[in-house]
Amino acid sequence: MKEIVVTGGLGFIGSNFIEAALEKGWRVINIDKKTYASNNIDFGKDPNYTLIVEDIAKIKTLPPCDLIINFAAETHVDNSITESISFVNTNIFGVHNLLNIILRQIQENLIHSWRYKVPVFLQISTDEVFGDIEEGFFNVNDPLKPSNPYSATKAAAEMLVMAWGRTYNIPYLITRTTNNYGPRQHTEKLIPRTISSILKGESVPVHGSGTHIRNWIHVKDNVDAIMTVIEKGEHGNIYHIASEEEYCVVEIVRKIAHAMGKEFDDIAEYTADRSGADVRYALNTDKIKELGWIPKRKFEEGIIDLIEYWKTNINSKH
């Protein structure tokens, strides 16, 4: 049985990952400080699941494990622009603290008492660390050029992981993924906000002209990719996770409106554009495809299922 520590496992992607890990029979210890973005989920009271309510920037020790997967992060770009210190605390200091705990336990020979080798540290990152690209795709070793406080903190976290890997020989993996969608995503994000707004009879805010392009991947495909990296990835490497579906904001809102029997012009409300907004994100995924992973879920099919999910969960905080 694989024993893993997941941080931020009550969040959108983390909770979907924990479900998949428990289905594999893995033992999961979830460290989550239960912020506004956390889901109220107990994973069916699975005996292989344990929750520790703690802040990764403040926790003092880590449980014995084979693998540490860091989903914990402040993620909403708009929030990072208006108030960035929480992003620095979690996304940078939190990662620094986790790495230093591993290092201290190595130096104090506590790893041997765990009955494990040094755990692999898997950092969950984002395509936003590169900034934007109008044509083509970013390769895994292209230079990072983040455009906003959120992506800057995620880029800094990657640098810490790589530095601790080289200096202290802590085994690591990094995944960068594009925009996820799926169940349990917070309504501050575009797709759940659009669906929930239409269900409530409210207008849907569209930043600027709504022409900024993003790559969209279902969270279940992302989880499958992360599992592939865990099982087949080479330590000390970075893997890009993306689908082949690119849409701008207007296209996303139009597709959802059409699926819900609405007209775009009747529900969309244009608002001021985000400061420093990136034009387009795009990742080259050749490396992870060499491990045998490909996305399986199509956007328009996933949206139909998601609309049904929100009809049931419209009154929840997510």
Residue tagged active-site, from 128, 158, 224, 245: 128
Place of tokens 């009879």: 201
Residue 150 known to be catalytic: yes
The Cα–Cα gap between 297 and 275 comes to: 32
- In 3-state terms, what secondary structure has residue 240? strand
Q: Considering all CA atoms of the chain, what is the largest pairwise distance in Å, rounded to the nearest integer?
A: 64
DSSP symbol at 273: P
Nearest to 182 by CA among 13, 28, 37: 13
Residue 142 known to be catalytic: no
In 24-148, where does DSSP find H-type helix? 77-82, 85-87, 95-107, 110-114
Query: Residue 236 is encoded by which pair of tokens?
Result: 């000390």
Nearest to 110 by CA among 171, 60, 161: 60
Q: What amino acid is encoded at 66 in this protein?
A: D
Q: Are 177 and 222 in contact (CB under 8 A)?
A: yes
DSSP assignment of 173-233: EEEEE-EEE-TT--TTSHHHHHHHHHHTT--EEEETTS--EEEEEEHHHHHHHHHHHHHHP
Tell me the backbone φ, ψ of residue 233, rounded to 5 degrees. Answer: -70, 155
Which H or E run contains 32? strand 27-32
- In 3-state terms, what secondary structure has residue 121? strand
Residue 127 known to be catalytic: yes
Nearest to 12 by CA among 220, 193, 242: 220
Nearest to 254 by CA among 216, 300, 306: 300
Residue tagged active-site, from 49, 66, 74, 150: 150
Residue tagged active-site, from 66, 74, 127, 158: 127
Q: What positions carry a catalytic annotation?
A: 127-128, 150
